[in-house]
Structure 1
Amino acid sequence: MDHLYIRHTVGGRLFLDSKKHEVTFTIVPAGDREGWKLTIDLADAQIAEDLCRHNDELNIFVIENGAVDKKTWYYSTHGLVEYNNADAKLTILADGKIDYNV
């Protein structure tokens, strides 16, 4: 399973770690716009609130399953983050992506 974690751009505070918080997520092309749509199944409303409050200060990293030397950084220059309480899903629209070696 891929590993996703989200940090604050200022200071590096960890908001969410898919392994630690045991959440699932998907990343697909955004469809009607350039970029990617990240959907996270997130029952913890407090974490979701923190992510929405800091919507334009998020560094989103994904490490593909089994990768030990590569990761992908997703970011949103417009801070497009929404949480749906009814279905406990957090959606982030990212317009940038950089793959790099660690």
Structure 2
Amino acid sequence: MKEVLVVRHSVGGRTFIHTEQQPMEYSVTRTGQGWRIALIITQDVDIHEILRWKQELNVFLFREYDDQPAKKIWFYVKEGPVTYDDQLKQITIFAESRIEYIPNEFGI
């Protein structure tokens, strides 16, 4: 399975993080009230811009499989906190909800 994580500004569509273009370690974990997405920032990423737009972020997880259709998981940050730990070089995004779907099933 191939997996790509993308963090975008939901209003303007600006991409802040794209792990296929800038590989970095990340994890997505289910919590009691949503999902915790943690990324270790080892590339040139403008953390200040991400934090500036933290209430307007969408996080996408694209999963491609050899034996089944690709899936897209869309995480909505909404009011979920977004924090950055300078010592760990880690940004943590809490998403309140998500939608998982197969993009090929939504076409005209």
Secondary structure at 2:5's aligned position in 1? strand
- Conservation of the 8 A alpha-carbon contact between 1:73 and 1:97: yes
Check 1:45–1:90 CA distance in 2 against 1; reply closer, same or farther (3 A cut).
Answer: farther
Q: Matched residues in 1 for 2:100 and 2:87: separation?
A: 33
Q: Is the 8 A contact 1:57 1:79 kept in 2?
A: no
For residues 26-82 of structure 1, what are the alpha-carbon distances to aligned partners after superposition, in whole Å with 9 as ceiling and x for unaligned?
01122xx41011000113475222111110111110012437532000012204100
Q: What is the rounded CA distance, in whole Å, between the counterparts of 2:44 and 2:28 in structure 1?
A: 21
1:3–1:64 contact (8 Å) kept in structure 2: yes
**TM-score for the superposition, normalised by structure 2:** 0.82
Find the structure with the greater CA-based Rg: 2
For residues 54 and 79 of structure 1, do their structure 2 counterparts lie closer, same or farther at Cα, with a shift above 3 Å needed? Answer: farther
Q: Name which of structure 1's ranges 3-12 and 83-92 shifts more when overlaid on structure 2.
A: 3-12
Q: CA deviation at 1:89?
A: 0.5
Identity score, percent: 27
For 2:91 and 2:69, the matched residues in 1 are separated by 27
Which runs of at least 4 in structure 1 moved beyond 4 Å after TM superposition? none
- CA distance in structure 1 between the aligned counterparts of 2:98 and 2:6, rounded to whole angstroms: 14
1:52 aligns with 2:59: no
Identify unmatched segments of 5+ residues in structure 1. Answer: none
Q: Which residue of 2 aligns with 1:23?
A: 24
Residue 70 in structure 1 maps to residue 71 in structure 2: yes
Structure 1 residue identity aligned to 2:95: A
Q: What residue number does 1:80 align with?
A: 81
Question: Structure 1 length normalisation: TM-score?
Answer: 0.86
